[in-house]
A and B are shown apart, each in its own frame.
Chain A
Amino acid sequence: MNGLKTLWHRLGSPRWFYQMMKPWQTGLGFVALVALLVGTVWGLAFAPEDYQQGNSFRIIYVHVPMVVLAQSAYMMLGSAGFVLLVWRMKMADVAMVAIVPVGMTVTAIGLFSGAVWGRPTWGTWWEWTDARLVSTLVLLFLYVGLYALREAIPRAESAGRACAVLAVVGLINIPIIKYSVEWWTTLHQGATFTATRMSMPIEMAAPLIVNIIGAYCLFGYLVLLNMRTELLRRERDTKWVGALRTEVIDGV
């Protein structure tokens, strides 16, 4: 318990976080690059063709990792918002700032790749009556809204709290996305795999798993880099950033 408490306090310390996360950032960035290269080449050129969909199914190797990540990123964003509201932990606000642009881009890619896959498969780019599609579009609007809200409120502290409230309220959308394919029978197919069941042969699923791992690592790399950048910006007048600057100058 004591160790956990110490970790919690340390996570709240900008200086500790900035230094300790550097190797994690580098490591995750490296793993992301390797995994995404391997998974993408494997999925595009080596995985067998789908007997029903032909080669358009290869789009799932970008689509599935991106939409899975879009939802996970939002859950982290909502959790960070909750931590900010309850414990007033500033690091949670830094995390929110860092996650929003990544989540927004990833959601947009998920929607776009899904539409491009839907065209040859369902015969349409978009379907307003499909609950999975519409709830994912709502997710994109939540990310855009969170970005705009922060830009719109000049006082940083008020902006952070407003974004935290919106982020927490928006969490309602996550189970809606998840269960949309079960609650409403629509165009979108059910989950390709869950923790216990896989509806895909392993030769097709393996590159997908590699790309999902790569996507999470990329997310980790980008969010850590973005958080560390935001910390530098917010703490530029402190002693530790000053010390960091001389270190860098001496190092060159």
Chain B
Amino acid sequence: MAFDSLGEFLAMGRHGLYVWLAYGVSVGSVVALVVAIRARNANIWQRLDEEESD
């Protein structure tokens, strides 16, 4: 570990705001992208099933 305590880890020296802002937005965007692309796939399957039952 590069840090002595959880508090120090969260504080990131004096750069906590920048580090956690960059990571938060990045991870959030990647998760949103994965969810959106998976949802598009699920949506196509649902449409195919609906056409099947017509």
Contact = CB atoms under 8 A, between A and B. Distances in A.
A15 B41 CA distance: 16
Interface residues of A, number: 39
A232 interface: yes
Interface in B1-53: 1-3, 9, 12-16, 18-19, 21-23, 25-26, 29-30, 32-34, 36-38, 40-41, 44-45, 47-49, 51-52
A225 interface: yes
Contact of A120 (B18, B30, B51): B18
A222 B40 CA distance: 12
Interface in A22-80: 40, 44-49, 54-56, 58-59, 62-63, 66
A56 B15 contact: yes
Contact of B1 (A45, A105, A229): A45
B38 A45 contact: no
Interface in A82-130: 101-102, 105, 108-109, 112-113, 116-117, 119-120
Chain A interface, DSSP helix/strand/loop, else mixed: helix
A55 B25 contact: no
* Contact count band on B: 20 to 34
B35 to A, nearest CB: 11
Nearest to A54: B13
Contact of A233 (B21, B30, B44): B44
B41 A245 contact: no
B39 to A, nearest CB: 10
Interface of B: 1-3, 9, 12-16, 18-19, 21-23, 25-26, 29-30, 32-34, 36-38, 40-41, 44-45, 47-49, 51-52
